[in-house]
């Protein structure tokens, strides 16, 4: 059965449609770049420090010798979290008014998730790095004490980013999927393209809760890279539909101007 032609009138007739169009394009582009950069740099960091076989002692020894790389990774993680929030906001702008309540819930969940992500990543970037540096500079600290303090910070950050934030982002994304699946604005295959990415984030949270941290790290990388491709695909799809709709409206306006007046038969 042929798919119905997407109805883009909800966005085209909205206030300042050109501004909304640019906002959606910008958010999709920023999300793609941010998640791609964060994933590549974090994978390189994990490979450089052999951190997939995770231990607090290894991480405490790695950070002081790779401080710039560590802080760059943390900053990119924070930026990618902000871009995910922007992506959810962009999806809010492409849906009809009747879905605003559901998308509003998604935006609230994404805001909470973003706050948790920023707090966890900043704690690892500043506090954990400072403790690791003190262990190298001040030899009066006992190794066991440093590991205990570092492990406490790592546990808090993992709980906030891998478990809570991923779950909230995943649920927010599933709200978006639900709206995209029943909207007239975008074809249904776009909703199906969103589904595995947001489910991956929910599964990451569950796997972290069960204690399988290496698997959760791999799923997190996969979800972030998937979101970068999804944002690019979404931006291109929405851009092509809006461009086609604008072109159709311009042709209709030109046709109306060239049509003779019905009552008098006179040309305009």
Write out pLDDT tens, residues 203-248. Answer: 999 999 998 888 888 888 898 889 999 888 888 877 776 665 555 5
Residue ranges of the chain whose pLDDT lies below 70 = 1-21, 51-54, 96, 135-144, 185-186, 241-268
Lookup: tokens for 83: 């871009």
Residues 225, 36 contacting (CB under 8 angstroms): yes
Res 256: pLDDT: 58
> Model pTM?
0.79
Residues 236, 2 contacting (CB under 8 angstroms): no
User: How far, in Å, CA of 67 to CA of 124, rounded?
Assistant: 11
Res 262: pLDDT: 45
């Amino acid at each position: 059965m042929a798919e119905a032609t997407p109805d883009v009138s909800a966005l085209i007739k909205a206030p300042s449609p050109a501004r909304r169009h640019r906002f959606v394009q910008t958010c999709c582009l920023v999300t793609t770049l941010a998640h791609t950069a964060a994933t590549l740099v974090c994978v390189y960091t994990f490979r450089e420090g052999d951190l997939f076989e995770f231990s607090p002692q290894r991480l405490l020894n790695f950070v002081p010798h790779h401080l710039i790389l560590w802080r760059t990774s943390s900053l990119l993680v924070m930026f990618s979290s902000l871009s995910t929030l922007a992506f959810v906001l962009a999806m809010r702008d492409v849906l009809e008014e009747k879905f605003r309540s559901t998308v509003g819930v998604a935006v609230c969940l994404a805001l909470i998730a973003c706050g948790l992500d920023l707090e966890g990543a900043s704690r690892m970037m500043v506090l954990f790095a400072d403790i690791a540096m003190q262990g190298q500079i001040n030899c009066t600290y006992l190794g066991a004490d440093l590991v205990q303090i570092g492990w406490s910070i790592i546990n808090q950050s993992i709980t906030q980013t891998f478990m809570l934030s991923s779950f909230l982002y995943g649920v927010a994304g599933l709200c978006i999927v639900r709206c995209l699946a029943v909207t007239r604005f975008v074809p249904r295959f776009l909703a199906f393209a969103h589904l595995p990415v947001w489910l991956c984030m929910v599964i990451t949270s569950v796997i972290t809760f069960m204690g399988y941290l290496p698997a959760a790290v791999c799923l997190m990388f996969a979800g972030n890279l998937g979101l970068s491709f999804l944002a690019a695909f979404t931006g291109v799809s929405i851009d092509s539909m809006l461009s086609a709709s604008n072109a159709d409206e311009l042709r209709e306006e030109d046709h109306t101007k060239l049509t003779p007046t019905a009552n008098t038969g006179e040309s305009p």
